[in-house]
A and B are shown apart, each in its own frame.
Chain A
Amino acid sequence: MISRFERVSNYVIVIALTVGVLFPVAWFVLTSLSPNTSGALDFSNIAWSNFTAAWHDGNLAHSMYASLVITVSAVAGQTVLAILSGYAFGILGVVGERFLFPVILLGMMVSTEVIVIPLYYEFQRIGLTNSWLGLVIIQLGMGVPFGTYWMRATFRALPRSVMDSAAVDGAGVWSTLWRILVPMARPAVLTLVLLSFMWTWNDFFLSLIFLGDPDKQTATVALGAFQGRHVLQVNLMAAGSLIVSLPVVALYLFFQREFISGVMAGAVKE
């Protein structure tokens, strides 16, 4: 059905597009290996030392640790809370659900910019600015609504008969959730974990506002400051950027399908 010409042109299109998207990134990777501070490429001397230099100069050890602590706690908390409230809304039923669930949906749709101002001044008053705990709380607040929505839909899609037979076997509400439903919903939970990891790790806006103290900064903010200071050392800047993006890109490498389907499904939330 498909002609030879068409097949060839399809490949040409795909390859051209891929190269177009990839070129900036590939060029940047090569820059990070260049010994020239101007960023001029030089393949004869590959400078792996750029990565160690960026690591030290950019204070990346400290800020990567900050990002890791914040991201892992936010993701863990968010996943557990989302599973619990998704179960409550999806299966058990909640008193006042008809009022509460729209509130959750609203929480999902409201953009960060609108709520960040009062949050900042309130948190400042109670001493939660410049604190990892404060940022984790906000990330939880921003993430749990989507997680709830996501897990509710997942649990609802599971066959009702499973829960009935669990009840017949004498499984309680709690053990039904953790022994039966969560294992069945594992792919959805994995997607949720990956998405919230990506969102939290990549966040810049919130970290910039809530962690002003350089000792508390996350990797994205530290990188932003680093590139401001090292305008003339392009190779170091590139190396630092690669280090900061590595965790999410590595996860993406292993879980491509989950990421893409998750972002697509997450997009539908609007």
Chain B
Amino acid sequence: MIVLVPLLQTVNYSFYKWDGVSEPTWVGLRNYLEFGRDPRMYAAFGHVLVLILMFGLIPLGLGLISAALLSRAKIRGEGIYRWFLFLPQVLTSVVVAIIWKRIYAPDGPLNSLLRGVGLGHLTRNWLGDFTWALPSLGMIGVWGGFGFTMVLFLAGILAIPDELYEAARLDGSTRWQEFWLITLPSLRGQMAIALTLTITGALRTFDMVYITTQGGPGTATTTPALLLYQLAFVNPDVGRASATGVVLAVLCLGIAVGITRIMENKDR
């Protein structure tokens, strides 16, 4: 009830113009139509594409490579490594944001490091830079998501029967072929999970941006969730905010269903 009723209400709200206080007026689909003309929306959803790349695809690739390299190895103290690699997943998002805000600060460790190795000309205020703010945020996602994908893929690889690899080796296949022909196809399920989670995560990015940049400089790092928050609670235009929410939900659901479909089709 807590979920279903408000869900329908959001859809309902999205057809009105309402500042949260006075009487709402019916505007039909105008909130959705204005979407196409609002540069802030374009910016926010455009940023999400960059974040999807950095939250989703890069950790996916890195996780695959490292898991494949490590899969056949027995590593002493595996539990300890896993504890550390998975740590970003359990850390409070606010704390993660604060850590990285500090790292990117003009007098923070990243710039000190660059100066230390003689690359002083590369130093900048990373989160205050129009070009670099968004990729810098994306790097936080790479850092946080990578351990997750790697642990997920390692677990997946362990479930692949050893006989498959032995048979391949008897047939004289190289490690590269093993990876493409055995490891990768067997991890399809895990890849679907990782992609769905990281992509919807990217779409819904809020805490990180709210703490570090508030969407700035200018609108260089706004995300749909941040716009929704501002439209719903800061300068109420509740109808527009609801429309954003509906679009966001449809996208999340669509992506989840889409990825599952694609992965299932390949199974046949």
Contact = CB atoms under 8 A, between A and B. Distances in A.
Which label, helix, strand, loop or mixed, suits the secondary structure of the B interface? helix
A13 interface: yes
B256 A122 contact: no
Nearest to B232: A117
B202 to A, nearest CB: 12
Interface in A83-116: 103, 106-107, 109-116
A114 B10 contact: yes
Given A114-B245, A117-B245, A141-B2, A201 B92 contact: yes
A234 interface: yes
A252 B86 CA distance: 10
A114 B70 contact: no
Interface residues of B, number: 76
A209 B66 CA distance: 40
Given A121-B238, A252-B87, A13 B4 contact: no
Contacts, number: 210
B117 interface: no
How many chain A residues sit at the interface, stated as a range, is: 35 or more
Residue among A111, A145, A259 with max Cβ neighbours from chain B (10 Å): A111
A243 to B, nearest CB: 10
B155 interface: yes
B187 interface: no
Contacts of A268: 193
Contact of B248 (A25, A113, A198): A113
A175 interface: no
Contacts of A142: 2-3
Nearest to A118: B9
A117 B238 contact: yes
B206 to A, nearest CB: 5
B4 A106 contact: yes
B228 interface: yes
A22 B143 CA distance: 10
Contacts of A113: 204, 206, 224-225, 228, 245, 248-249
Given A111-B204, A142-B3, A220-B92, A25 B99 contact: yes
Interface stretch (A2-10, A45-53, A152-160, A183-191): A2-10
B122 interface: no
Nearest to A137: B2
A126 to B, nearest CB: 13
Nearest to B175: A6
Contacts of B75: 10-11, 14
B79 A256 contact: yes
Contacts of A18: 81, 84-85
B86 A249 contact: no
A13 B69 contact: yes
The 4 lowest CB-CB distance pairs between A and B, nearest first, are A141-B2, A118-B9, A115-B6, A107-B3
17 contacts: A14-B70, A17-B81, A22-B87, A24-B99, A106-B3, A107-B4, A114-B245, A115-B2, A115-B6, A116-B245, A118-B242, A204-B92, A220-B93, A234-B102, A252-B87, A256-B83, A264-B151
